[in-house]
């Protein structure tokens, strides 16, 4: 039940070929192909409903693609327990009666085994990860008592406790104030030091350019994937964002209107 | 003089508590109420956290046709009815689980349709006996005064199995309930665990049937756990408090039933609800 | 004129039903929807004629029942009443029971067919003394007119201990009361069918002798029980008249009162257990139709046995209680065995 497939080190950590995926009957992803190397920090950028969450779920082995292959260290995701999916904060039940430490300990289940109980070693590891994310003094708090940034850091601690080598973060920076965002981005440095490969879904193009090795432009199809300077070109951005781009002050600043999904009825115009 | 009066009230008080206990049927009823309360409370904690109260109520009603069939076939001995209830409950749990997933219909609606249809089937089956009023009321409202020693053993064994299973798979159920996606990424057997939880709820209902009856079952699952959820943020403490409230409700309810001559199942549920109301109001006033 | 139309209508309906089914079966080997609808299409005008000729159906069929050459339909509320009445009727009338075997009149839920049966009946025999609560809605819905014979009319009734205004209906468990039952039934039959008066009278006399013999036999049996053991505990207060007549004391009942419908409170159960222990009653007696669950616990806590194969409110289909007299003999035998 708790697989620990060996990692083939000559393979890229993540190799995605021609995957398509359906969600609610529509194509969320169409023919996406890319690969990642160990330790890379990737920003996944695209409008709402572009398929970012779906991509993460397929990579994590939570969802099956209708076509194509996903390989993590040479084998399918379902053989690995080293992939962490960090959910959007809005999808979590914060009233659940668990503490920060409880949530982080959940990440250790694969290592604990079926009828195993956490040992001292596991609790020590949990506290270490909480120290890394700077939540050590809040370990006994119930999770609804955390701020947005603290909630995000807790999930990162959980992924660390999971001993994850590939972390997929679904919009961790949205809704956080600048200092909190800084805190998360600093953590990403720590993760890089530990050779963790990270994919982060974000809307902030500036942050993407500044903090990430490569940027993936996604709108159901892979529009572009590469270094920030190559990817953040007007024509490519227009392809990704469609009519939601607005240029301010000539070509110097671009803002993205990411309020709504394509095809939604809404009361205002863009 | 005052000492004598104190002595007298002490004696009456002690007598008040001891009098029902000299009857074996009351002792059996109290034991059944406490055991059933504990099992329902622990399983009910998950029911409350996962928002499955309606499912629990529906499952309790859905077993009526199976029990009715057993009643028609075997003539109504309550021990044999336990097995019929158990079998039907497990099948019904999987059935509702399966049907409510294949939906063009919302899960809520699917559950409602199945529940009402099966309950009506049960009443129809029982009504073929044509003098069914008394026995139907036992199914619906419980018959805790009629618990036999054999029934107590069944409650102990199966209730114990349920509690053991919850303890053994504690962290798996916890993860599954809090973050199902995490459970999948950690490659837990999510389908199996879900079915296991459904089975545990089904067994709990079968075990509790004679004590509280179909109509009030959902109260035993939900109310003590709901009360506990107001008082703690920690899951193990919540389960413990729920079990405590449930046991107290069982005992106090039966004493009330004895001295006020009211139906025992209803007395237990009213006591549990009173606990909830008191805790709720205290919290309100504190804020 | 009306009566001919009515009986022609009835006969015609019967014929129509028979034809359509066999026709459909020949055509396809099983009933198929378009066969059925095809039949309806062909026969619709004929149906229309029949329906207009048959309304209103209820009164016409009643007239038909009472004036046709078939025997009038006589109903009794329960199986034991039907048997008693049949003994009076002999060959001249057929008495049917409304309740099936094993049903409990206290908790009986009537079905639409019961209303139809009552509507078609010319004479209805009831126990009376508020036994047949379930009949009230049935009689209302059946409408029409029929003779109702209250078998217990003229007898002194006991009060029901459980309710303030109620009475104890279980008069038939004392055969001496049944002797008056048959007199009332005899009078009812004579009103319905005056030509048969002689037959009814002689049947009544011979059956009354049987009832007296039954009474004597019961006394002998009861004498064999030691006096201090003539104690009865039942599910509800059904043996009140029986106890009075034959010298038993009713120690208590699981359910208070003369109806099986209530449930005892914990204190009532406790009190009964104490009473059983204090009196030395050897057994708890239950009707076969009653739920034994509470009685089992009470008996087990009091250390006495439970007898569950008695028949107080219904006969059985065949032995051991196929007739009223057999029912009484069976019950007394069981009671005497348990108390000796």
Query: CB–CB of B222/B47 below 8 Å?
Result: yes
Give the domain extent around A143: 95-164
CA distance B120 to B103: 23
Q: Give the residue among B139, B150, B26 at the shortest CA–CA distance from B76.
A: B139
What are the structural domain ranges in chain B? 31-210, 222-287
User: Which tokens hold the place of B39?
Assistant: 């099992």
In a domain, C301, yes or no: yes
* Separation of CA A255 from chain center: 22
Domain's final residue, options C216, C235, C261: C216
Residue of B nearest to A58 (CA): B185
Please name the residues in contact with B87: beta carbons below 8 A apart, sequence gap of 6 or more. Answer: B66
Question: Of the candidates A83, A117, A118, which has its C-beta nearest B185's C-beta?
Answer: A83
Asked if B235 lies within 8 A of A98 by C-beta distance, the reply is yes
* Chain C hits for B29, Cβ within 8 Å: 266
| pLDDT value of residue C215 | 95
CA distance B60 to C110: 28
| pLDDT value of residue B132 | 61
CA distances from B257 to A88, B266, C81, C262 (A): 51, 9, 40, 15
Residue of B nearest to C292 (CA): B77
| pLDDT value of residue A246 | 60
Q: How far separated are the first and last CA of chain C, in Å rounded? A: 68
| pLDDT value of residue C66 | 45
Asked if B188 lies within 8 A of A93 by C-beta distance, the reply is no
Angle in degrees, CA A40, A43, A47, rounded to 5: 160
Q: Which stretch of DSSP H or E encloses residue B206?
A: helix B190-229
Subunit partners of chain C (3 or more CB pairs within 8 A)? B
Judged by a CB distance cut-off of 8 A, whether residue B164 touches chain A is: no
Q: Are residues C204 and C271 in the same domain?
A: no
Q: Is the link from the previous residue into C56 a cis peptide, with omega within 30 of 0?
A: yes
CA distance B114 to B103: 13
| pLDDT value of residue C208 | 95
CA distance B275 to A209: 57
CA distance C302 to C273: 5
Q: CA dihedral in degrees (C288, C293, C294, C299; nearest 10)?
A: 80
Q: Are residues A45 and A157 in the same domain?
A: no
CB count within 10 Å of CB C34 equals: 9
* Separation of CA C267 from chain center: 33
In a domain, C280, yes or no: yes
Q: Give the residue among B209, B241, B212 at the shortest CA–CA distance from B224.
A: B241
- Tokens 């089956």 locate to B125
CA distances from C184 to B238, B258, C152, C172, C187 (A): 70, 46, 8, 13, 5
Domain covering B31-210, topology: ABC transporter involved in vitamin B12 uptake, BtuC (1.10.3470)
Best probe of the C interface among B25, B29, B151, B267, by most C CBs < 10 A, is B25
CA distance A165 to A130: 18
* Chain B hits for C294, Cβ within 8 Å: 143, 145-146
Number of domains in chain A: 2
CA distance B62 to B88: 8
CA distance A42 to A59: 14
Mean pLDDT calculated for residue range B216-232: 95
CB count within 10 Å of CB C130 equals: 16
| pLDDT value of residue C14 | 36
Best probe of the A interface among B44, B169, B187, by most A CBs < 10 A, is B187
Q: Give the residue among A165, A255, A263, A181 at the shortest CA–CA distance from A220.
A: A263
In a domain, C205, yes or no: yes
The answer, yes or no, to whether residue B151 has pLDDT greater than 60, is yes
- Tokens 């990162």 locate to A156
Q: Are residues A71 and A173 in the same domain?
A: yes
* Chain C hits for B257, Cβ within 8 Å: 265-266
Q: What is the side-by-side order of every strand in the sheet holding A41-45?
A: A83-86, A166-169, A197-202, A41-45, A214-219, A221-226
* Chain B hits for A155, Cβ within 8 Å: none
How is residue A174 annotated by DSSP? Answer: T
User: Which tokens hold the place of C162?
Assistant: 């459980």
Asked if A106 lies within 8 A of B171 by C-beta distance, the reply is yes
Question: Of the candidates B127, B145, B257, which has its C-beta nearest C109's C-beta?
Answer: B127
pLDDT higher at C47 or A34:
A34
- Tokens 């009196």 locate to C279
User: Which tokens hold the place of B93?
Assistant: 């749990």
Q: Judge residue A192's burial from the number of C-beta atoms within 10 Å of its C-beta, 0-12 exposed, 13-18 middle, 19 or more buried.
A: middle
Return the CATH number at C71: 3.40.50.1980
Q: Phi, psi at residue B231, to the nearest 5°? A: -110, -15
| pLDDT value of residue A1 | 41
Best probe of the C interface among B23, B124, B268, by most C CBs < 10 A, is B23
Q: Which of A84-98, B194-208, C23-37, C211-225 has the lowest mean pLDDT?
A: C23-37
pLDDT confidence tier of residue B171, bands split at 50, 70 and 90: very high
CA distance C187 to C158: 25
Asked if B257 lies within 8 A of C266 by C-beta distance, the reply is yes
- How many Å lie between the alpha carbon of C285 and the closest alpha carbon of chain B? 17
Mean pLDDT calculated for residue range B11-15: 86
Judged by a CB distance cut-off of 8 A, whether residue A5 touches chain B is: no
In a domain, C72, yes or no: yes
Question: Of the candidates B172, B178, B184, which has its C-beta nearest A62's C-beta?
Answer: B184
Three-state DSSP class for A202?
A: strand
A vs B, Cβ pairs < 8 A, gives 76
| pLDDT value of residue A27 | 87
Alpha-helical (H) ranges within chain C are: 2-28, 33-54, 57-67, 79-89, 112-120, 135-142, 175-192, 197-223, 240-246, 266-279, 293-302, 324-339
Number of domains in chain C: 3
* Chain C hits for B266, Cβ within 8 Å: none
| pLDDT value of residue C40 | 62
In a domain, A43, yes or no: yes
Contacts 24+ apart (CB under 8 A), A252-258: A254/A205, A256/A47, A256/A203, A256/A205, A258/A47, A258/A48, A258/A203
Query: CB–CB of A101/A161 below 8 Å?
Result: no
| pLDDT value of residue A242 | 73
Q: Are residues A187 and A237 in the same domain?
A: yes
Question: Of the candidates B179, B187, B234, which has its C-beta nearest A81's C-beta?
Answer: B187
CA distance B131 to C105: 8
Q: Are residues A145 and A214 in the same domain?
A: no
CA distance C309 to C64: 43
Bridge partners, A29 (sequence order): A21
Query: CB–CB of A122/A102 below 8 Å?
Result: no
Q: Inspect the structure and tell me whether chains C and B have 3 or more CB pairs less than 8 Å apart.
A: yes
Give the domain extent around C8: 2-57
In a domain, C49, yes or no: yes
For the stretch C31-75, pLDDT in tens is 455 556 666 666 666 666 655 554 444 444 444 444 445 678 899
Question: Of the candidates B131, B146, B261, which has its C-beta nearest C267's C-beta?
Answer: B261
Domain's final residue, options A118, A140, A164: A164
Q: What is the side-by-side order of every strand in the sheet holding C305-310?
A: C249-253, C231-234, C283-287, C305-310
Residue of A nearest to B187 (CA): A2
User: Which tokens hold the place of C306?
Assistant: 């439970």
In a domain, A270, yes or no: no
User: In sequence order, what DSSP letters do the residues of B132-192 get, joined into one string?
Assistant: -HHHHHHHHH--GGG--HHHHHHHHHHHHHHHHHHHHTHHHHHHHHH-HHHHHHTT--HHH
The answer, yes or no, to whether residue A73 has pLDDT greater than 50, is yes
Q: Give the residue among A182, A188, A152 at the shortest CA–CA distance from A170.
A: A152
For the stretch B27-57, pLDDT in tens is 999 999 999 999 999 999 999 999 999 999 9
Q: List per-residue pLDDT tens for chain C, 340 residues long.
A: 333 333 333 333 333 333 334 443 444 444 455 556 666 666 666 666 655 554 444 444 444 444 445 678 899 999 999 999 999 998 889 999 999 888 888 878 888 888 889 988 999 999 988 888 888 888 888 877 888 899 998 898 888 766 666 888 999 999 999 999 999 999 999 998 899 899 999 999 999 999 999 999 999 999 999 999 999 999 888 999 999 999 999 999 988 877 766 778 888 889 999 999 999 999 999 988 888 888 999 999 999 999 999 999 999 998 899 999 999 999 999 999 999 8
CA distance B266 to B66: 24
Domain's final residue, options C216, C241, C256: C216
For the stretch A10-29, pLDDT in tens is 678 888 999 999 877 788 89
Residue of A nearest to B239 (CA): A97
Q: Inspect the structure and tell me whether chains A and C have 3 or more CB pairs less than 8 Å apart.
A: no
- Could you tell me if the ipTM is greater than 0.90? no
Asked if A92 lies within 8 A of B232 by C-beta distance, the reply is no
Asked if B145 lies within 8 A of C266 by C-beta distance, the reply is yes
In a domain, C62, yes or no: no
């Amino acid at each position: 039940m708790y697989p620990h497939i060996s990692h083939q080190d000559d393979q890229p950590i993540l190799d995605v070929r021609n995957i398509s995926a359906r969600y609610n009957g529509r194509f969320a992803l169409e023919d996406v192909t890319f690969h990642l190397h160990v330790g890379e920090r990737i920003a996944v950028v695209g409008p709402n409903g572009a398929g970012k969450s779906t991509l993460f779920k397929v990579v994590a082995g939570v969802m099956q693609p209708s076509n194509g292959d996903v390989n993590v260290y040479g084998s399918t995701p379902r053989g690995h327990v080293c992939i962490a999916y960090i959910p959007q904060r809005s999808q979590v039940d914060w009233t659940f009666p668990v503490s920060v430490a409880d949530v982080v300990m959940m990440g250790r289940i694969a290592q604990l085994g079926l009828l195993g109980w956490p040992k001292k070693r596991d609790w020590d590891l949990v506290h270490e990860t909480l120290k890394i994310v700077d939540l050590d003094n809040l370990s006994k708090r119930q999770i609804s008592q955390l701020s947005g940034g603290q909630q995000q850091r807790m999930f990162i601690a959980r992924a660390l406790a999971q001993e994850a080598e590939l972390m997929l973060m679904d919009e961790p920076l949205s809704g956080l104030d600048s200092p909190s965002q800084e805190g998360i981005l600093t953590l990403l440095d720590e993760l890089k030091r530990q050779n963790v490969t990270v994919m982060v879904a974000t809307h902030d193009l500036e942050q993407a350019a500044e903090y990430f090795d490569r940027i993936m432009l996604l709108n159901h199809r892979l529009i572009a994937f590469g270094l920030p300077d190559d990817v953040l070109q007007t024509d490519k951005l227009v392809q990704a964002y469609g009519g939601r781009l607005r240029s301010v002050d000539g070509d110097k600043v671009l803002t993205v209107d990411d309020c709504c999904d394509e095809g939604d009825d809404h009361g205002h115009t863009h | 003089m005052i000492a004598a009066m104190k002595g007298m009230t002490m004696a009456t008080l002690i007598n008040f508590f001891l009098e029902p206990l000299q009857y074996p049927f009351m002792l059996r009823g109290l034991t059944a109420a406490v055991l059933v309360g504990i099992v329902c409370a622990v399983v009910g904690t998950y029911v409350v956290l996962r928002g499955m109260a309606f499912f629990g109520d529906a499952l309790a009603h859905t077993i009526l046709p199976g029990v009715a069939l057993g009643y028609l076939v075997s003539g109504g001995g309550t021990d044999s009815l336990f097995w019929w209830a158990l079998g039907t409950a497990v099948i019904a749990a999987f059935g509702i689980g399966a049907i409510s997933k294949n939906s063009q219909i919302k899960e809520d609606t699917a559950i409602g349709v199945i529940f009402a249809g099966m309950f009506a089937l049960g009443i129809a089956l029982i009504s073929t006996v044509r003098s069914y009023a008394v026995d139907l009321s036992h199914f619906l409202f419980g018959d805790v005064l009629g618990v036999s020693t054999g029934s107590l053993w069944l409650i102990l064994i199966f209730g114990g199995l349920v509690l053991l299973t919850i303890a053994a798979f504690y962290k798996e159920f916890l993860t599954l309930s809090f973050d199902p996606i995490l459970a999948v990424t950690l490659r837990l057997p999510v389908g199996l665990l879900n079915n296991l939880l459904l089975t545990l709820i089904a067994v709990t209902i079968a075990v509790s049937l004679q004590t509280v009856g179909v109509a009030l079952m959902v109260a035993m699952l939900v109310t003590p756990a709901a009360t506990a959820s107001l008082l703690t943020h920690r899951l193990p403490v919540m389960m413990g408090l729920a079990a405590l409230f449930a046991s107290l409700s069982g005992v106090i309810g039966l004493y009330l039933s004895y001295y006020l001559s009211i139906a025992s199942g209803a007395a237990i549920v009213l006591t549990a609800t009173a606990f909830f109301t008191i805790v709720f109001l205290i919290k309100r006033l504190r804020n | 004129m009306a009566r001919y139309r009515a009986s022609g209508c009835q006969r015609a309906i019967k014929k129509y039903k028979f034809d359509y089914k066999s026709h459909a079966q020949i055509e396809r080997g099983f009933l198929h929807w378009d066969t059925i609808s095809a039949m309806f299409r062909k026969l619709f005008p004929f149906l229309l004629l029949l329906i207009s000729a048959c309304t209103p159906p209820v009164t016409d069929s009643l007239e038909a029942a009472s004036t046709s050459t078939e025997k009038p339909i006589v109903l009794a509320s329960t199986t034991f009443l039907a048997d008693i009445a049949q003994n009076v009727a002999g060959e001249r009338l057929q008495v049917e029971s409304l309740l099936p075997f094993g049903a409990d009149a206290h908790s009986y839920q009537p079905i639409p067919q019961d209303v139809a049966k009552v509507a078609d009946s010319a004479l209805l025999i009831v126990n009376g003394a508020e036994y047949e609560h379930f009949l009230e809605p049935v009689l209302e819905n059946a409408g029409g007119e029929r003779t109702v014979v209250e078998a217990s009319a003229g007898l002194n009734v006991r009060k029901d201990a459980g309710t303030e205004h109620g009475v104890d209906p279980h008069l038939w468990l004392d055969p001496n009361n049944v002797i008056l039952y048959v007199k009332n039934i005899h009078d009812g039959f004579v009103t319905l069918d005056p030509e048969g008066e002689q037959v009814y009278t002689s049947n009544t006399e011979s059956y009354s002798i049987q009832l007296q013999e039954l009474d004597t036999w019961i006394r002998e049996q009861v004498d064999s029980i030691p006096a201090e053991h003539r104690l009865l505990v039942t599910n509800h207060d059904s043996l009140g008249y029986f106890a009075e007549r034959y010298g038993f004391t009713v120690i208590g009942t699981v359910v208070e009162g003369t109806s099986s419908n209530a449930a005892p409170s914990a204190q009532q159960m406790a009190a009964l257990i104490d009473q059983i222990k204090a009196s030395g009653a050897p057994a708890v007696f239950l009707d076969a139709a009653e739920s034994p669950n509470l009685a089992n616990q009470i008996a087990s806590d009091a250390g006495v046995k439970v007898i569950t194969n008695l028949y107080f409110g219904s006969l059985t289909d065949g032995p051991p209680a196929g007739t009223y007299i057999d029912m009484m003999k069976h019950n007394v035998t069981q009671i005497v065995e348990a108390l000796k």
